[in-house]
Amino acid sequence: MAEHFHLNTPLLESVSMSKRVGATVYLKMENSQPSGSFKIRGIGHLCQQLATQSKGVVCSSGGNAGMAAAYVARKMSVPATIIVPSSSPQLVVQRLQDEGATVRIVGKVWDDANAEALRLAETEGLTYVPPFDHPLLWQGHATMITEVAASLGPGVKPGAVLVSVGGGGLLCGVIQGLKDTGWSDVPIIAMETVGADCFNAAVKAGKVVTLDDITSEAKCLGAKTVCTKAFEYSQRSEFTIISEIVTDQEALQAVETFLDEERVLVEMACGAALAAVYTGLIRRLQEEGRLPSLLGPLLVIVCGGSSVDMKQLATLKHKLQT
Ligand code: PLV
d(CA 38, CA 46): 13
Instruction: Output the pLDDT for position 113.
Output: 97
Ligand 1 centre distance from Cα of residue 135 (Å)? 16
Q: Could you tell me which residues come within 8 angstroms of residue 113 by beta carbon, excluding any fewer than 6 positions away? A: 60, 61, 83, 84, 85, 106, 107
d(CA 173, CA 120): 27
Mean pLDDT along residues 167-192: 98
pLDDT category at 224 given cuts 50, 70, 90 is very high
In terms of Cα–Cα distance, which of 245, 246, 220, 252 is closest to 317? 252
**Which ligand 1 atom sits nearest the alpha carbon of residue 169?**
21
Instruction: Provide DSSP, 19-70.
Output: HHHTS-EEEEEGGGSTTSBTHHHHHHHHHHHH-TT-S-EEEE-SSHHHHHHH
The identity of residue 194, as a single letter, is V
Mean pLDDT along residues 60-74: 97
**Which ligand 1 atom sits nearest the alpha carbon of residue 226?**
22
- Most informative mutation of 29, 30, 39, 219 for ligand 1 (most atoms within 8 A of CB): 39
Q: What is the pLDDT of residues 93-130, one digit of tens each?
A: 999 999 999 999 999 999 999 999 999 999 999 999 99
- Which protein residue's CA is at the shortest distance from atom 10 of ligand 1? 305
Q: What percent of the chain has pLDDT over 90?
A: 98
Instruction: Provide DSSP, 289-319.
Output: TSS-SS--PEEEEE-B-SS--HHHHHHHHHH
Ligand 1 centre distance from Cα of residue 113 (Å)? 14
Q: Could you tell me which residues come within 8 angstroms of residue 190 by beta carbon, excluding any fewer than 6 positions away? A: 163, 164, 165, 171, 199, 241, 242, 243, 244
Give pTM, 2 decimals: 0.98
d(CA 35, CA 30): 10
Q: Go through 169-183 and write b for each residue having 16 or more CB atoms within 10 A of its CB, e for each that does not.
A: bbbbbbbbbbeebeb
Q: What is the pLDDT of residues 29-39, one digit of tens each?
A: 999 999 999 99
**Which ligand 1 atom sits nearest the alpha carbon of residue 307?**
10
pLDDT category at 322 given cuts 50, 70, 90 is confident
Instruction: Output the pLDDT for position 151.
Output: 97
Instruction: Output the pLDDT for position 1.
Output: 41
Which of the 8 DSSP states describes residue 210? -
* DSSP reduced 3-state for 218: coil
Ligand 1 centre distance from Cα of residue 40 (Å)? 11
Could you tell me if the CB of 173 is within 6 A of ligand 1? Answer: no
Residue 234 has pLDDT above 60, yes or no: yes
Bridge partners for 27 per DSSP:
12, 300
Task: Describe the crossing of helices 169-181 and 143-152 by its angle, rounded to 10 degrees.
Answer: 50
d(CA 9, CA 211): 34
Residue 3 has pLDDT above 90, yes or no: no
pLDDT averaged over every residue in the chain: 97
- Which protein residue's CA is at the shortest distance from atom 6 of ligand 1? 61
Number of residues in the chain: 322
Q: What is the pLDDT of residues 285-300, one digit of tens each?
A: 999 999 999 999 999 9
